[in-house]
Amino acid sequence: MPGPAYLRSDSLTLCTVEEEDLAFIQEGFNDPRIRKNIGRYTPSNHAQQQTHLEERITEGENSIYFLICVDETPIGLIWLFSLDYQRGKGEIGLWITPDEWGNGYGTDAVALIVDYGFKQLRLHKLIARVQESNAASKQIWDSLGFTEEGFQRDEFYSDGEYVSYYYFGILADEWDRDSVNANVDFT
């Protein structure tokens, strides 16, 4: 059962991550369809996921994790990491379970966390990395007004080949939540 709701849109809720969510998160990070797109190359067992939860989720000042839920059912994970409050920047990570791909949940979750990062955390810039082959993820950043800031060739080795990444960024004064084409109600 997910933790309490922290942020809401018309279609989903971002909830706190609780110990009971470990099995879901572990399954997602180990799913070949997900791990390929997020650059994971080693398996994650329960003990490793527990350590990750303790070090990064519950005690970490440099990251904030949310379970993405639809009708109290977890469908993904979104997180802000490499948070640098002095410089006012952070990076966004995201995965959605493959059964829910194509429903707009990624766009809605990102819109919520971007708004949260700029309005509540007073960040100045948010960035995201997307594998060259992940057109659906690239579309999320494009649709929310992120600017493609760079391309790094052969940045990561995955499944027997090197993969390249697009880098996207958005500044707080570029974020126009009123023009977001997502099912997000920011009230």
- Percent of the chain at pLDDT > 70 equals 89
- Comparing 41 with 111, the larger pLDDT belongs to 111
Mean pLDDT over each residue of the chain, to the nearest integer: 88
Quick one: pLDDT band at residue 157, thresholds 50, 70, 90?
confident
pTM here is 0.89
State the pLDDT at residue 84. 96
Is the predicted pLDDT of residue 73 greater than 90, yes or no? yes
Is the predicted pLDDT of residue 33 greater than 60, yes or no? yes
State the pLDDT at residue 124. 98
Contact yes or no for 141/128 (Cβ under 8 A): yes
- Tokens linked to 81: 């990491």
Which residues lie across from 5 on neighbouring strands? Answer: 15
Q: Which residues contact 95 (CB under 8 A, 6 or more apart)?
A: 28, 29, 34, 37, 38, 76, 77
Is the predicted pLDDT of residue 186 greater than 60, yes or no? no
Torsion from C-alpha of 30, 33, 39, 43, nearest 10 degrees: 20
Assigned fold of 5-179 = Aminopeptidase (3.40.630)
Quick one: pLDDT band at residue 187, thresholds 50, 70, 90?
very low
Task: Give the C-alpha separation, 69 to 115, whole Å.
Answer: 18
9-13, 73-77, 150-154, 157-161: segment of lowest average pLDDT: 157-161
